[in-house]
Amino acid sequence: MELIDRTAIEIVGALDQGDARCVDLAEHWIARTEASSALNCWVEFDAQAFRREAALADQRRTRGERLTLLGLPVALKDNIDALGFACGNGTGALHGRHPRADAELVRRLRAAGAIIPGKLGLHELAFGATTNNAVTGAVRNPWDTSRVPGGSSGGSGAAVAARLVPAAIGTDTGGSVRVPSALCGVAGLRPSVGRVSGDGLAPISATRDTAGPLARCVADLALFDGVLTGDMAPLPPVSLSGLRLGLPEAYFWEDLDDGVRACCDAALATMRAAGVQCVPVELPGLAQLDGEVSFVVALHEFVRDMSRYLREKSRGIDFAELLAGVRSPDVAAITGALLGQGAVPEAAYRQALAARKRLQALYADAFARADVAALVFPTTPSTAPKIGEDESFLVNGRACPTFATLIRNTDPGSNAALPGLSLPIGLSGGLPVGLALDGPAGSDRRLLAIGAAIEAVLPPMPAAPVAAAAS
């Protein structure tokens, strides 16, 4: 296995020990990016700047400097402001427009020594789960290039799975980090809302948005969580023997693709053999509460929060111009009437916030009653649909709505502001399957520790075929 195929922690360790040079690794990543151009992961990739920054990182190391991520490339979803690159948010009116400052999380990455080689594709305005984008083109899944990578952080999932970078930062409103993690076979973390600064991120909803890392293993997720939040405390020790995890069979385990169910059942059997106790958990009325919160909060806050972002970050357009530049039909159908009769009334928004409090109470009560450390369930009910199946796709021979199906299991925890984790657990029909863990509010580091313990007993995930071919 080449060093660029290893984890972020292993790569930094090799650099620290003097066993590798940043400039040499950069050339390998650049070559692989060029060989994998058909995936369309990148909106912008600056090979020359990558080379320059890699050379500077080597010089800093020669002088004895050591930083957490010194010389490590970390790619950004193209809704995160970063100097040196445009920030298009996947949409026509912002495409090619440069921000005036780094997002706060980018400042933290750079301060830790990370190199930003480019920006990754997303579903337009982050309003979707396929990353079939009419402005920048469809991003393709490295496991099967006829399939979607998930979304909205589809470029992030595909780039990490294809080993174009060891890690990427995405954003997650209703599943946009965890869905592509699951469909591309990588690990992904949705932090608790507010844990990672949202300054400099093109928003949908301040109540629901959060940035989070995608990487090859949970230890890498914990590393990036520490850099992004400043919480560098070691993960607490977790033994699987006697660990109680909640199994919310109603809703989360219903209507699954047969292959997804088989993979998830096998993972649970492995976990039980290692001592995990899977405890039935009930969340009565969950689907109704989630429906009362989800789109009402997102669409109301999108008008407010995006207008503020465009104005305060001096992006050069207003909200009406943003909407006029939308080209993807599915996104236009959602956003087209937000300045007119389709706007969410204030009263409806207030009702949705009240429902959100009830949803949070429902989760808190379920964790307490069952005395469980996290809930466990399939990240997505199916493996990746084909590109072009934007409206519906077949799950066990039945047509299902694409967006609603892909985010079905990730959306409720998002609306409750819970931390969420997706782990790759194997393949069904040659396509990746993810297993999700949602923890109590604020339990991010413990959730990562639980994920790392589970990861250690599961079979390792193989490399995607595109990554193997590019080598």
Q: Is 152 a catalytic residue?
A: yes
Nearest to 126 by CA among 158, 164, 154: 154
Evaluate if residue 30 carries a pLDDT over 80.
yes
Q: Is 37 a catalytic residue?
A: no
**Cα 344–chain centre separation:** 27
Evaluate if residue 241 carries a pLDDT over 70.
yes
Q: Which of 36, 77, 156, 414 is catalytic?
A: 77
Is 449 among the domain residues?
Answer: yes
Q: Would you say 215 and 7 are in contact if contact means Cβ atoms under 8 Å apart?
A: yes
Phi (first) and psi of residue 247, to 5 degrees:
-115, 95
Mean pLDDT, the chain, as a whole number? 97
Average pLDDT of 61-72? 97
Average pLDDT of 5-20? 97
Nearest to 455 by CA among 274, 296, 289: 274
In the chain, the amino acid numbered 10 is E
Q: Residue 185's pLDDT is what?
A: 98
Q: Would you say 2 and 28 are in contact if contact means Cβ atoms under 8 Å apart?
A: yes
Count Cβ atoms below 10 Å from residue 320 Cβ, excluding itself: 12
Is 429 among the domain residues?
Answer: yes
Q: Which of 152, 156, 382, 414 is catalytic?
A: 152
Question: What is the rounded CA–CA span in Å between residue 256 and residue 38?
Answer: 31
Average pLDDT of 214-225? 98
Q: Residue 107's pLDDT is what?
A: 98
Question: What is the rounded CA–CA span in Å between residue 462 and residue 471?
Answer: 14
Is 59 among the domain residues?
Answer: yes
The pTM assigned to this predicted structure is 0.97
Instruction: Of 286-295, 378-387, 461-470, give the lowest mean pLDDT range.
Output: 461-470
User: 431-458: per-residue pLDDT in tens?
Assistant: 999 999 999 999 999 999 999 999 999 9
Average pLDDT of 79-92? 98
Is 456 among the domain residues?
Answer: yes
Is 2 among the domain residues?
Answer: no
Evaluate if residue 468 carries a pLDDT over 70.
no
Give the rounded percent of residues in the chain with a pLDDT score beyond 90.
97
Evaluate if residue 415 carries a pLDDT over 70.
yes
Q: Would you say 148 and 179 are in contact if contact means Cβ atoms under 8 Å apart?
A: no
Average pLDDT of 239-260? 97
Under 8 Å CB-to-CB from 388, ≥6 apart: which residues? 132
Q: Would you say 281 and 251 are in contact if contact means Cβ atoms under 8 Å apart?
A: no
Question: What is the rounded CA–CA span in Å between residue 302 and residue 202?
Answer: 10
Q: Is 153 a catalytic residue?
A: no
Count Cβ atoms below 10 Å from residue 68 Cβ, excluding itself: 18
Q: Residue 224's pLDDT is what?
A: 98
Is 155 among the domain residues?
Answer: yes
Domain span holding position 393:
7-470
Cα dihedral angle (303, 305, 307, 313), rounded to 10 degrees?
-160
Phi (first) and psi of residue 74, to 5 degrees:
-135, 120
Q: Would you say 446 and 373 are in contact if contact means Cβ atoms under 8 Å apart?
A: yes
Evaluate if residue 231 carries a pLDDT over 70.
yes
CATH number at residue 263: 3.90.1300.10
Q: Residue 246's pLDDT is what?
A: 98
Domain count, the chain: 1
Q: Is 458 exposed, middle or buried (0-12, 13-18, 19+ CB in 10 A)?
A: middle
Binned at pLDDT 50, 70 and 90, residue 340 comes out as: confident
Average pLDDT of 384-394? 97
Is 1 among the domain residues?
Answer: no
Q: Which of 176, 181, 294, 443 is catalytic?
A: 176
Q: Would you say 412 and 286 are in contact if contact means Cβ atoms under 8 Å apart?
A: yes
Is 214 among the domain residues?
Answer: yes
Q: Residue 341's pLDDT is what?
A: 82
Q: Residue 1's pLDDT is what?
A: 79
Q: Residue 312's pLDDT is what?
A: 98
Binned at pLDDT 50, 70 and 90, residue 467 comes out as: low
Q: Residue 342's pLDDT is what?
A: 85
Which uninterrupted H or E stretch holds 353? helix 346-370
